[in-house]
Structure 1
């Protein structure tokens, strides 16, 4: 007789039941796609609430034509596209002006995420998001909402010594820009896995006079191995230990990781501290946008439920 007949049933996935606090935090969440992943979705209206902000990641080598086409499609389907502008792959002012004009003309974008970009050597004149803002081209074109990077766990590309002196200096500049401009600004962060890290960071920023709201990056449901791979590649810091600890538990190793625990902790904190800088959640759908969207809906993250959240993509 096979020993397989005596195997214990796999434990249920690690989930946290939705609460009114979690539903409140999930209202207005955003999610991220790339042109090549967007192509796999037949209709975003089957997955996301109408009006959802959808960031479009611009990876080095992605043609601007594909980026603009994705933004135009999302707009046509009733969503609010927010394309990335990675400074280090934009060659010059003329290129930047052309990109903005195309996004405005073909997809009616009024918002953008400005980043340095994950490229070691700049392709041209720009190396930071601050330089992009200083051109004045976004304001001139009517792009009124600008999100910039926030780093709850630091960023070794900016501060190689593991500190945060340069990150803090850049953040103060961005706060000053918000103070002296009409731009609606917010900090969009890399994903992390520990609520305490995010809360401590947000409290520290507020104490230092930063008022920019935080749109906190959270990884959507995915295989544990997938999350660990992306976390290492993206430079996730201290909170990576949450995944490493889980990986040591063989009963959980093969189960999908879901963000219920961190979301529950963040929601409870936000409910108790409504003036926290943590304003919204931004999902990185590392396990697939359909999986992420269904999790968000199940946990209250939809003001209107999509027509068919179980649609195949």
Structure 2
């Protein structure tokens, strides 16, 4: 199977770091997505999150909207938030039959105790439900700055096991990382991953432009490094919490540091944090400036 089957130009993308980016939305962002749609290239991958407090019907409606607008939906599945195997199976059957979903992003999720039968993402992958319903690719999480509950060595083992299971089942793995504020952890992690022989394509998580307090709030919740030194590199002073910040310095540093021989093929995945239109405006402005 070729990655072209699930992203038509993945294997022919240019070396422009902004070529072939993906986006993330929540079920509440459908109106914003419709408004911003003319700014987004056709077939752009758009992930739909699996947040607590959102109804399954709202998530499925968001997936449908992504497809209807001409983009490629990638719904999230949060293993520990699935209350039953039936809820999971019904969701997969509906998003594949009603919206032509070919890819999913499968994570363990945040609850310390599972709300149903699934402890982790590997259990979800092993059900057989995904390939039986025509899923072609599975996104899994990458943690360049580590995970608060899992050691670095364990993270690599989990990644290797999930990739092996996905491929054994005839699907393709894609790694999507947590967002960050500094290029160095991304580049070091990519180099170590390739040195370990992990050749799956990677989407590096980038925060869209947002209020500084909002960015720091998301960082705190997600365990992302946001020290004074890191934020200074990003262009933010922690003594000045007013205003907004964009990822100009981060994306430039990633672009300048990437060596496709050492880091493999890498694309960007934007976390808009509710500011979808602002993120797309930033992408277009940054692209024009580069030209």
Instruction: Pick the TM interval, shorter chain.
Output: 0.7 to 0.9
Whole-angstrom distance in 1 between the partners of 2:15 and 2:279: 15
Give the structure, 1 or 2, with the largest relative contact order (CA under 8 Å, sep 6 or more).
Answer: 1
Aligned to 1:264: 252
Q: 1:23 to 1:292 in 2, by over 3 A?
A: farther
Please state whether the residue corresponding to 2:214 is helix, strand or coil: helix
Aligned to 1:309: none
Contact map agreement 2:106 2:138 (CA 8 A) in 1: yes
What stretches of structure 1 of length at least 5 have no aligned partner?
Answer: 1-21, 302-313
TM-score normalised over the length of structure 1: 0.81
Contact map agreement 1:216 1:282 (CA 8 A) in 2: yes
1:247 and 2:237 aligned: yes
1:242-279 CA-partner distances (Å, limit 9, x unpaired): 226732464xx434211111111111223x43552351
Whole-angstrom distance in 2 between the partners of 1:249 and 1:278: 37
1:38 and 2:38 aligned: no
Q: Which has the higher helix share?
A: 2
1:156-187 CA-partner distances (Å, limit 9, x unpaired): 13x2xxx3232122112123224423211111
Please state whether the residue corresponding to 1:147 is helix, strand or coil: strand
Query: Which protein shows a greater Rg?
Result: 1
Please state whether the residue corresponding to 1:25 is helix, strand or coil: coil
1:191 and 2:191 aligned: no
Contact map agreement 2:228 2:237 (CA 8 A) in 1: no
Q: 1:23 to 1:206 in 2, by over 3 A?
A: closer
Aligned-residue offset at 1:148: 0.5
Aligned to 2:5: none
Please show how residues 1-313 of structure 1 align to structure 2 within 5 Å: 24-157=16-149, 159=150, 163-237=151-225, 241-243=229-231, 246-248=236-238, 250=240, 253-270=241-258, 272-274=259-261, 276-277=263-264, 279-286=266-273, 288-300=275-287
Q: 1:50 to 1:239 in 2, by over 3 A?
A: farther
What stretches of structure 2 of length at least 5 have no aligned partner?
Answer: 1-13
Contact map agreement 2:191 2:263 (CA 8 A) in 1: yes
Q: 1:232 to 1:244 in 2, by over 3 A?
A: farther
Deviates further, 292-301 or 219-228: 292-301
Whole-angstrom distance in 1 between the partners of 2:34 and 2:173: 32
Please state whether the residue corresponding to 1:217 is helix, strand or coil: strand
Deviates further, 49-58 or 89-98: 89-98
Please state whether the residue corresponding to 1:300 is helix, strand or coil: helix
